[in-house]
């Protein structure tokens, strides 16, 4: 910052049109003042997508230009396939039933892909300049719900397993989760959770932005029956990532009720919200009241844990050794036998290259199988293991 004695003009000089310093000095001062402004404007001009309203023709053109640059220029590290990984993948061919859908940044924007659960037969299901994310298999494997911003704002679409018949289902919605009977979808809208009835095309709010009280896990989770429930007062919350239980009675989701982020559980009638554990991205183990979720520990990595919806002991589901120490987005097959999730080698959601891994859910001793080997991130898997989906 220039000192008070270095002002180019005095008040008297402004009034009289006179300069107190030579013209050359004034020119250099003006250059020094304006140069950072010009540099800042130049830097922002290199990312025009941040200035363009999503859904406009200009936004689509900007996305197309990004795609043309190639994913190699986005800054993601390429995690090469090791000889042991190749050998394990070759041995798994035909041994894991069903298909996995997930989102990938392989074309410089998020699209939905599908592959056999053994990592073969990779297919691209959506091809849009604006993002398609969070795919979820329907219970019968006949439809895939996903969210998209192809209209300029987030919407939930459905499509066939081959990517055909993409149709709008819910407007202004994200993160779809099917009920076990396929009649309902829970979704997120502006940090609130809603339930959509497919036959009636109606919706109702499940988790509002304000709650009065919520239960917390007891101080000693090993003996919950001997302790009175603890409660806390909640003025406002943000909620995301809904997951409906397979019995159709409960909803799990991520909330910031006490701190970012925490897994919460509540009946669909909206009573007795329970703050279950610190973590996010809940997924139900089918046929049980157990929920698996991600718990982050900053640069120490993140693990997958599991807990009963009623509380009780925390159980470790996965804690991979470094460098594969950052584990996210768990998904469990409908028969409860398989776990698929996204793993990266660093704690950086914006730049880390996530890859998909799979293993038998209860087999915590064997090495998981790495399914994807791409420069761009692969995230948010959903697995369906019935034979009709394996096509």
Beta pairing class for 369-370 and 355-360? antiparallel
Domain edges within the chain:
4-67, 72-389
Asked if pLDDT for residue 306 goes beyond 80, the answer is yes
Model-level pTM? 0.77
**Which residues are CB-neighbours of 159 under 8 A, at least 6 positions away?**
125, 126, 143, 144, 146, 165, 166, 167
- Tokens 């689509």 label which residue? 60
Q: Give the separation between CA 122 and CA 81, rounded to whole angstroms.
A: 17
* In contact, 338 and 360? CB cutoff 8 Å: yes
* In contact, 370 and 125? CB cutoff 8 Å: no
CA 193 centroid distance within chain:
16
The whole-number pLDDT of residue 159 equals 98
Beta pairing class for 280-284 and 378-384? unpaired
Element (H, E) at 189: strand 184-189
CA–CA distances in Å: residue 172 to residues 156, 166, 197, 206, 252: 8, 16, 15, 16, 21
Asked if pLDDT for residue 4 goes beyond 70, the answer is no
Asked if pLDDT for residue 81 goes beyond 70, the answer is yes
Q: What CATH number does the domain located at 72-389 have? A: 2.120.10.30
Residue 15: exposed, middle, or buried by beta-carbon count in 10 A (0-12, 13-18, 19+)? Answer: exposed
CA–CA distances in Å: residue 98 to residues 115, 119, 253, 387: 9, 11, 26, 6
pLDDT tens sequence across 164-195: 999 999 999 999 999 999 999 999 999 999 99
Q: How many CB atoms lie within 10 A of CB 234?
A: 17
pLDDT tens sequence across 196-210: 999 999 999 998 877
Asked if pLDDT for residue 219 goes beyond 60, the answer is no
Letter string b/e over residues 39-63, b meaning 16 or more CB atoms within 10 A of that residue's CB: eeeeeeeeeeeeeeebeeeebbebb
* In contact, 185 and 176? CB cutoff 8 Å: yes
Query: What are φ and ψ of residue 134, in 5° steps?
Result: 50, 60
């Amino acid at each position: 910052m220039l000192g008070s004695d270095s002002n180019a003009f005095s008040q008297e000089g402004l009034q009289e049109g006179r300069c107190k310093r030579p013209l050359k000095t004034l020119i250099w001062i003006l250059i020094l003042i304006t140069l950072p402004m010009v540099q800042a404007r130049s830097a922002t001009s290199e990312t025009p997508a941040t200035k363009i309203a999503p859904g406009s023709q200009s936004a689509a053109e900007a996305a197309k230009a990004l795609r043309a640059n190639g994913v190699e220029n986005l800054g993601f590290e390429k995690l090469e396939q090791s000889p042991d990984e190749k050998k394990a993948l070759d041995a798994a061919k035909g041994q894991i039933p069903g298909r996995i859908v997930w989102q990938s940044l392989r074309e410089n924007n998020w699209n939905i892909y599908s592959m056999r659960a053994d990592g073969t037969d990779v297919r691209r299901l959506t091809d849009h300049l604006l993002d398609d994310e969070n795919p979820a298999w329907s219970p019968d494997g006949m439809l895939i719900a996903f969210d998209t911003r192809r209209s300029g704002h987030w919407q939930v679409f459905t499509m066939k397993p081959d990517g055909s018949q993409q149709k709008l289902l819910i407007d202004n919605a994200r993160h779809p989760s099917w009920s076990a009977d396929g009649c309902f979808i829970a979704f997120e809208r502006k940090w609130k959770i809603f339930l959509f009835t497919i036959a009636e095309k109606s919706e109702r709010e499940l988790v509002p932005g304000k709650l009065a009280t919520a239960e917390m896990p007891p101080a000693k989770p090993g003996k919950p029956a001997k302790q009175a429930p603890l409660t806390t007062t909640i003025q406002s919350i943000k909620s995301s990532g809904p997951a409906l239980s397979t019995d159709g009675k409960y909803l799990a989701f991520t909330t910031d009720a006490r701190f970012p982020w925490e897994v919460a559980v509540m009946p669909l009638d909206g009573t007795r919200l329970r703050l279950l554990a610190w973590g996010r991205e809940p997924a139900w183990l089918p046929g049980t009241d157990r929920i698996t979720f991600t718990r982050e520990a900053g640069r120490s990595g993140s693990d997958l844990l599991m807990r009963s919806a009623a509380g009780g002991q925390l159980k470790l589901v996965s804690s991979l050794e470094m460098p594969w120490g950052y584990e996210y987005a768990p998904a469990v097959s409908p028969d409860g036998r398989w776990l698929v999730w996204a793993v990266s080698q660093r704690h950086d959601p914006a730049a880390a290259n996530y890859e998909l891994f799979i293993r038998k859910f209860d087999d915590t001793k064997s090495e998981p199988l790495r399914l994807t080997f791409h420069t761009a991130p692969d995230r948010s898997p959903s697995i369906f293991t019935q034979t009709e989906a394996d096509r």
